[in-house]
Every structure is written in C-alpha cells, then in structure tokens.
Amino acid sequence: MKIKHSEFIGSFVEMAQCPTPNKPEYAFIGRSNVGKSSLINMLTGRKKLAKVSNTPGKTQTINHFLINEVWYLVDLPGYGYAKVSKTSRRKWIKFIKDYLEKRPNLMCVFLLIDSRIPPQKIDLEFANWLGELRIPFIIVYTKADKNKAHVLKGNIQNFEKAMLESWENLPQSFVTSSSTQQGKDTLLEFIDAINDKFVPL
C-alpha cells in the first residue's frame, strides 16, 4: 500500500465525538516520548501531519487522520509521564479505556515500544491489559537506528522474555525507525491486509 492522501479530521475528548465508525481504524499508542508522532509522519510521508514535541505527554486528545479516504489512523495520548493534573490524567484514562473497549471499527492497536531501553513495567502492564480485554494489538519497536544491532536485538529479546512471563504466545511485532523508514512498507502491508477483511457496520 502507498499512502497518497492523508487528512486530519479532528481532535476529540470523548468517543461519542469521533467520526462515524464506517471505516477500519488503527490506533497508535505508547509511553510518552516513544516516537509516536514521528512514526505516524514517516508512515504517511508528511513531516508535520502529527505534531512532534519535545515535551512528553503533549498529545491530550484522540486525533483522527483519514488515510486514502479508506481507513482511519488514530493518534492516542501517550501513557506515563506527563505534566498534567491528576484530574486531567483520570479523564485521559477514562476516554482511552472507553475508546479501546467500545470503538466498534477498531481493527488493531499498534503498541509502540522504545527499542533503545530495557523493558519498562508500564509497557508490560499495558500490553497485559490489552490482552486481558482481548483487544487485538501488535508491538511496534521504535527508534531502531539509535543503537547498534546487537544492543537492539538484546533489548527486543529482553522485552519478549519479560512478556513471556505472562503470555503463552507473543503478539506479532515490527521493528521501525522513523529516520531510516525501516518497517514502513511492512506496517502498511499489514494494515492493507486487514482492510481487505473489514465488513462495514
């Protein structure tokens, strides 16, 4: 698949505000500062489609992008560190939970994991939570160009080993780099294959 058209549809704070669920939808989520916006921009070929910030936790809404007029790419708020009030954080948790559990056209969640660092408890907990709710997800390792190959391989193996403490079979995974565009084609092919199976509601 090649992305020829990408359009920002809107930012929402409640699932009821989201677009009519008549197209397949793919949500991107990860710990704050995992490189989510950079990955979205790399996939779409637009440097400024998703706003890249040096401030962790900048995304505070559910952001919908219409891709090729066929499917939605959804940028969800990052979990983890963010300089916000407890009240705001509770609101984020509620609408993210509502969206992931109840959005009828959500085909798959892309759980982004920073490949530069050892396994993080918050990432493992979120993966387990998705599994408990039976929400389909894949793992996307980001920033693969930032470490030497053997360090990258070791970090991924350590994360998988940590997951296997709770999982019998690991979810499918992809290794990506926004700088080198590694993983772009395989991720888009993955989405394309699922789009073919979508049955409109």
Between residues 155 and 15, the one the model is more confident about? 155
Per CATH, domain 6-195 is 3.40.50.300: yes
What is the pLDDT of the chain when averaged over all its residues? 89
- pLDDT single digits (tens) 140-160: 999 999 999 999 999 999 999
- pLDDT single digits (tens) 165-200: 999 999 999 999 999 999 999 999 999 999 998 988
Query: pLDDT at position 49, please?
Result: 78
Query: Domain spans of the chain?
Result: 6-195
108, 136 Cβ separation under 8 angstroms:
yes
